[in-house]
Amino acid sequence: MCVPRISMGNDMQVTETLNEGLKRGYAITVTAAELDAKVNEKLVEAQPGIEMKGFRKGKVPMALLKKQYGERLMGEAMQETIDGAMNQHFEDSGDRPAMQPEIKGKEGEEGKKGQRGQGGG
């Protein structure tokens, strides 16, 4: 069976894992560097408005922001990346999902260095 790979720019890959009748499954591979860049982008965006005890408004160090908000922002970045990849794939392929895709998180072979998400539609 030939497994198509779709390049989504950067280092993200969408791989079809299931193709039975109307059922489809995809594995989306995103590098940790790409997710980290999105998290940093969100922190830089939010930094000017953040107030934290002991710091003037907008002057909280990035390392402290990352420690406090990094995990939540990583989740948001992963969700946005997966949603974007699925929407782009549906646009490119012309497929239309009959229902909301189910998304399951899965740690990559490289442990925390690479995160994987699977979506099916």
CATH assignment of the domain containing 22: 3.30.70.1050
Total domain count, the chain:
1
The residue written with tokens 């990346």 in the block is 81
0.75 cut: is pTM over it? no
Tens of pLDDT along 66-101? 999 989 998 899 888 888 888 888 888 888 888 887
Cα distance between residue 10 and residue 29, in whole Å: 11
Residue 99's domain comprises 5-120
